[in-house]
Amino acid sequence: MFKKILIANRGEIALRVIRTCKEMGIKTVAVYSTVDAESLHVKFADEAVCIGPAPSRDSYLKMSNIIAAAEITNADAIHPGYGFLSENAKFSKICEEHGIKFIGASPEMIDRMGDKANAKATMKAAGVPCVPGSDGVIESFEECEKIAKATGYPVMLKASAGGGGKGMRAVWKPENLKDAWDSARQESKAAFGNDDMYMEKLIEEPRHIEIQIVGDSRGKACHLSERDSDQGTTDGDASQGNSGSDIPQT
């Protein structure tokens, strides 16, 4: 059992982890940016450490600051919540190297599934049918144009490191592709520190079925049944549960 967990996230996500830790008798450490100093997750945690200024890249995505916060508070584990560094293989590896348990997937698993372009390649290699589109990260806008033409409009530009609807643009016409490409990359860079993009055929009014799997580090795993959502996702991505209302239309 962990004695103290640092939560590398903010807001409701952090509060949910704090509540569970309290029920289990585990001490918690909140981290926060300067703009979140008065947030509830800071007040409810047993300890709190400021990790930088407001921009996420300088605080919640700043790995060195989070590791330093864990070390000075003697936290023996880091819970990343979701978003931010939860699917970052480098961060998982750094935690491992510092003797801090990363409550999440191993670096190897994240490399294969955390990045959406890599996840799609992994699924293709396993013979799983995938939505038509790019085979991986798109290297240039010129390549983006060619893939969009081959895939057929409408298409969906998606941030490879994304989640929560950020870095996604539905594109219905060729003349709108450049603006969508530029704005999606800019949003992805700001949110995730990564502007890699890939593309899929836009699926209108898809049925979103999600199956969550929980596993430990000893070879045991189970599924939490399926969740059939009527969110109206427009990206065909069951791993994130992105609502169509979150996706800018172009």
For residue 78 the two structure tokens come to: 């880091």
What phi and psi, each to the nearest 5 degrees, are found at residue 45?
-75, 160
Query: pLDDT per residue over 180-212, tens digit each?
Result: 999 999 999 988 888 999 999 999 888 888 888
Q: Find out whether 137 and 196 touch, Cβ atoms under 8 Å.
A: yes
More confident residue, 201 or 234: 201
Query: pLDDT per residue over 76-111, tens digit each?
Result: 999 999 889 998 899 999 999 999 999 998 999 888
Q: What per-residue confidence (pLDDT) applies to 244?
A: 33
Q: Which architecture, in CATH terms, is 132-202?
A: 2-Layer Sandwich (3.30)
- Compute the mean pLDDT over every residue in the chain, rounded to the nearest whole number: 88
**Could you tell me what percent of the chain has a pLDDT over 90?**
67
Distance CA(148)–CA(121), nearest Å, equals 18
Q: What per-residue confidence (pLDDT) applies to 203?
A: 92
Confidence of residue 213 (pLDDT cuts 50, 70, 90): confident
Residues in CB range of 19: below 8 A, 6 or more apart: none
Q: Which architecture, in CATH terms, is 4-112?
A: 3-Layer(aba) Sandwich (3.40)
Distance CA(4)–CA(95), nearest Å, equals 15
Residues in CB range of 81: below 8 A, 6 or more apart: 7, 8, 9, 13, 14, 17
- Check whether 75 has a pLDDT greater than 90: yes
Query: pLDDT per residue over 11-63, tens digit each?
Result: 999 999 999 999 999 999 999 999 999 999 999 999 999 999 999 989 999 99
Q: Find out whether 61 and 84 touch, Cβ atoms under 8 Å.
A: yes
Residue ranges per structural domain of the chain: 4-112, 132-202
Q: What per-residue confidence (pLDDT) applies to 230?
A: 54
Q: What per-residue confidence (pLDDT) applies to 166?
A: 87
Specify the pTM: 0.69
